[in-house]
């Protein structure tokens, strides 16, 4: 067990990040379990503690009598300096055991710019960075999450990946580790990897070889071990009613990013926005019953003391029984001062009745995502909403008492022109004017946030070459000239960060050396503006001879083998290509949830049905 001297805690910001012992945490005797997991989130405590997926996995493992799961987050640079100065290894919050003493170290991959933190955490733990350099006693380093669907940039560092929803897969991994240990660890480390490769959804990169063409494009990723299947398909929970859900989550001592109850309404989305990776990875839609949600909400309120319930999903307003559930939740909890919030609203799903319901206890902000400034471009991305939808939604919000809204857009989308950019400003100003029309006075607050489009694997836009940094910055500057009214505020994302995100989103194994070179030069917390060092990344690309434009900016050919083609989300590549061609023609594709099947392949291929409790 590791000890943190009080003097160390006195020298760092927010020492409660590192003390553990929070309400709801689980500490088990490692001598009485067969498999131990250090669940690692490669970002600071406040971000990691806000992630629902990690809460679910913590619950899944700890409900097993033969397994134990503990948590570890990336220490902030001040604590990292203290750990290195004092020679204290990275350790978990529950038992303060060194991370290297666990059977499995499992990383959650939510964002490409957290990859350097993975290397940093492994180094702090004393675990060799490359899987090929780890000895028999080293833990297996595994990873899951949306970024695992292009695992190749991390292939040198991760022993195996779990694709898709991990509730059942992690049970299988725990059982495999326990059985291997009880049998005397046959075959050693490679023997355990062979067992893991036999688990559905598990990808062991060391069992595959990447080959390249003379022009640098990928010739293929092929299995080299008999234990390895030629392709890996994601795991999916067919029925969320039967899935474990954490109703006694760990409650932090300090405020975190999402410091509230997170109640997951459903998974999946079939709206088909062509830029959206999550809409592909989590297909098909599977809803929880209203009665189940009300029961879970009551248990969560009883066990945490939170005063806000956030209804989470990719698009919460698409839950078929939302109005009924919101009304029943408010009736059940408003006497206790517990509010309900909807963090994700579709423009065409909002209504004045729902607005009035959710503000009964506590009024929160409203966020809408038109994504594009013109109808033509919204048709390109298959957003499925119109300017009239937005006008009706914000009008309903203003009549219900709100005076401010946030609007999210993207720039750099396929086929975008400067007229589409100008449309963003025109739409924001129209929202401002609606407030005056509805209320008869000035005072609207419209916050416009613009991100730069990043083409993601397993989406119709995976073939599209990202706009150059210069072009993205030019479009940002154009928008800045269009926002002169103090009632409209404008914020944007660093184009250099978006560029690097695209490099790793669409990259292959050759980026492993770039990642290592950048980390050695000091790269970490790349998603945090105060620590992002683009010059370090430029030096790393030069040092390794890798051209980042080859990955981010290059249009991929229809016949080109992509680095993630052997990792399946269940959606056919041919469907994604058809959708790309539909996008270039600005032709929308209707939602298949209650209409005709669009032949994406996921329901038939995975044998999982859409579950929609609002369908007769």
Q: Are residues 369 and 359 both part of a single domain?
A: no
Q: Are residues 176 and 94 both part of a single domain?
A: yes
Q: So what's the pLDDT on residue 348?
A: 67
Write down which residue in 500, 534, 554 finishes a domain.
554
Closest C-alpha among 527, 487, 530 to residue 504? 527
Closest C-alpha among 67, 41, 34, 74 to residue 55? 41
Give the pLDDT band (50/70/90) at residue 61.
very high
The residue that leads in pLDDT, 386 or 503, is: 503
Looking up tokens 């919050």 gives: 93
Specify if 317 maps to a domain.
yes
Q: Are residues 303 and 414 both part of a single domain?
A: no
> Strands 202-203 and 160-162: what pairing?
antiparallel
Specify if 442 maps to a domain.
yes
CATH number at residue 286: 3.30.750.210
Q: Which two tokens stand for residue 46?
A: 């406040």
Specify if 254 maps to a domain.
no
Q: Are residues 344 and 393 both part of a single domain?
A: no
The pLDDT tens digits for 255-292 are 999 999 999 999 999 889 999 999 999 999 999 999 99
Q: Are residues 316 and 393 both part of a single domain?
A: no
Q: So what's the pLDDT on residue 343?
A: 73
Q: Detail the DSSP E strand segments found in 336-380.
A: 339-341, 367-371
Q: So what's the pLDDT on residue 596?
A: 82
Give the pLDDT band (50/70/90) at residue 350.
low
Q: Are residues 320 and 403 both part of a single domain?
A: no
- Per-residue CA distances from 182 to 169, 171, 174, 193 (Å): 20, 17, 12, 16
The pLDDT tens digits for 20-54 are 999 999 999 999 999 999 999 999 999 999 999 99
Structural domain count, the chain: 3
The pLDDT tens digits for 499-545 are 999 999 999 999 999 999 999 999 999 999 999 999 999 999 999 99
Q: Are residues 491 and 378 both part of a single domain?
A: yes
The pLDDT tens digits for 147-169 are 999 999 999 999 999 999 999 99
Over residues 589-593, the mean pLDDT reads 87
Separate counts of helices (H) and strands (E) for the chain: 21, 19
Q: How far apart, in whole angstroms, are the C-alpha atoms of residue 378 and residue 449?
A: 17
Write down which residue in 501, 532, 554 finishes a domain.
554
Q: Are residues 266 and 228 both part of a single domain?
A: no
Cβ atoms < 10 Å from Cβ of 255:
10
Q: How far apart, in whole angstroms, are the C-alpha atoms of residue 181 and residue 604?
A: 37
Specify if 531 maps to a domain.
no
CATH number at residue 372: 3.30.750.200
Specify if 42 maps to a domain.
yes
Specify if 559 maps to a domain.
no
DSSP, collapsed to helix, strand or coil, labels residue 310 as strand
Q: Are residues 210 and 302 both part of a single domain?
A: no
Q: So what's the pLDDT on residue 352?
A: 61
The pLDDT tens digits for 62-76 are 999 999 999 999 999
CATH number at residue 33: 3.40.50.280
Q: Are residues 142 and 189 both part of a single domain?
A: yes
Give the pLDDT band (50/70/90) at residue 363.
low
Phi-psi group of 56: left, alpha or beta (phi > 0 → left; psi -120 to 50 → alpha; rest → beta): alpha
The pLDDT tens digits for 532-587 are 999 999 999 999 999 999 999 999 999 999 999 999 999 999 999 999 999 999 99
Q: Are residues 350 and 379 both part of a single domain?
A: no
Q: How far apart, in whole angstroms, are the C-alpha atoms of residue 117 and residue 115?
A: 5
Q: How far apart, in whole angstroms, are the C-alpha atoms of residue 333 and residue 297?
A: 9
Specify if 525 maps to a domain.
no
Give the pLDDT band (50/70/90) at residue 341.
confident
Closest C-alpha among 161, 159, 83 to residue 126? 83
Q: Are residues 357 and 392 both part of a single domain?
A: no
Over residues 448-471, the mean pLDDT reads 97
Domain range for 596 is: 260-363+586-616
Per-residue 3-state assignment (H helix, E strand, C coil) for 262-307: EEECEECCCCCCCCCCHHHHCCCCEECCHHHHHHHHHHHHHHHCCC
Write down which residue in 233, 250, 274 finishes a domain.
233
Specify if 376 maps to a domain.
yes
**Least confident window among 117-121, 182-186, 394-398:** 394-398
């Amino acid at each position: 067990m590791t000890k943190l001297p009080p003097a160390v805690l006195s020298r760092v910001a927010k020492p409660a990040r590192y003390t553990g012992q929070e309400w709801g945490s689980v500490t088990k005797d490692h001598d009485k379990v067969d498999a131990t997991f250090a669940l690692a989130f490669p970002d600071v405590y406040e971000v990691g503690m806000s992630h629902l997926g990690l809460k679910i996995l913590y619950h899944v493992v700890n409900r097993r009598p033969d397994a134990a799961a503990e948590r570890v987050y990336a220490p902030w640079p001040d604590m990292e300096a203290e750990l290195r100065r004092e020679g204290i290894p990275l350790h978990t919050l529950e038992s303060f055991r060194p991370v290297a003493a666990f059977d499995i170290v499992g990383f959650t991959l939510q964002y490409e710019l957290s990859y350097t933190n993975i290397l940093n955490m492994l180094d702090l733990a004393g675990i060799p960075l490359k899987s090929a350099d780890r000895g028999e006693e080293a833990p297996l380093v595994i990873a899951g999450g949306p970024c695992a669907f292009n695992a190749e940039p991390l292939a040198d560092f991760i022993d195996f990946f779990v694709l898709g929803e991990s509730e059942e897969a992690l049970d299988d991994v725990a059982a495999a580790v326990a059985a291997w240990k009880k049998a005397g660890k046959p075959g050693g480390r490679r023997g355990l990897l062979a067992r893991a490769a036999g688990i559905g959804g598990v990808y062991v990169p060391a069992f595959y070889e990447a080959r390249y063409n003379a022009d640098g494009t990928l010739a293929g990723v092929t299995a080299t071990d008999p234990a390895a299947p030629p392709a890996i398909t994601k795991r999916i929970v067919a029925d969320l009613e039967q899935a474990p859900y954490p109703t006694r989550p760990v409650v932090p001592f300090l405020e975190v990013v999402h410091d509230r109850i997170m109640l997951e309404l459903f998974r999946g989305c079939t709206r088909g926005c062509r830029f959206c990776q999550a809409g592909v990875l989590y297909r098909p839609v599977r809803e929880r019953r209203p009665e189940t949600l009300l029961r879970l909400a009551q248990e969560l309120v009883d066990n945490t003391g939170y005063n806000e319930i956030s209804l989470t999903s990719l698009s919460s307003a698409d839950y078929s029984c939302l109005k009924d559930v919101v009304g029943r939740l408010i009736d059940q909890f408003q006497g206790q001062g517990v509010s309900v919030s909807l963090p994700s609203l579709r423009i065409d799903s909002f209504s004045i009745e729902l607005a009035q319901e959710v503000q009964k206890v506590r009024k929160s902000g409203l966020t809408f995502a038109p994504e594009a400034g013109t109808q033509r471009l919204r048709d390109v991305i298959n957003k499925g909403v119109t300017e009239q939808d937005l006008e009706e939604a914000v009008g309903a919000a203003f009549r219900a008492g709100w005076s401010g809204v946030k609007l999210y857009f993207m720039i750099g989308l396929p086929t975008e022109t400067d007229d589409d950019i100008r449309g963003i400003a025109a739409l924001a100003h129209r929202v401002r004017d609606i407030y005056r029309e509805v209320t008869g006075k000035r005072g609207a607050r419209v916050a416009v946030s613009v991100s730069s489009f990043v083409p993601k694997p397993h989406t119709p836009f995976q073939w599209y070459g990202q706009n150059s940094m210069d072009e993205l910055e030019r479009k940002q500057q154009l928008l800045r000239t269009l926002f002169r009214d103090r009632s409209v505020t404008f914020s944007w994302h660093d184009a250099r960060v978006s560029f690097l995100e695209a490099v790793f989103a669409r990259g292959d194994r050759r980026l492993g050396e770039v990642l290592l070179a950048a980390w050695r030069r000091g790269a970490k917390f790349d998603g945090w503006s105060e620590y992002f060092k683009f010059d370090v990344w430029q030096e790393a690309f030069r040092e390794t001879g890798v051209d980042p434009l080859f990955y981010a900016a290059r249009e991929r050919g229809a016949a080109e083998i992509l680095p993630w083609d052997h990792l399946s989300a269940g959606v056919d590549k041919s469907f994604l290509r058809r959708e790309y061609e539909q996008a270039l023609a600005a032709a929308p594709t209707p939602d298949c949830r209650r209409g005709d099947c669009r032949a994406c392949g996921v329901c038939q291929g995975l044998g999982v049905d859409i579950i929609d409790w609002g369908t007769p």
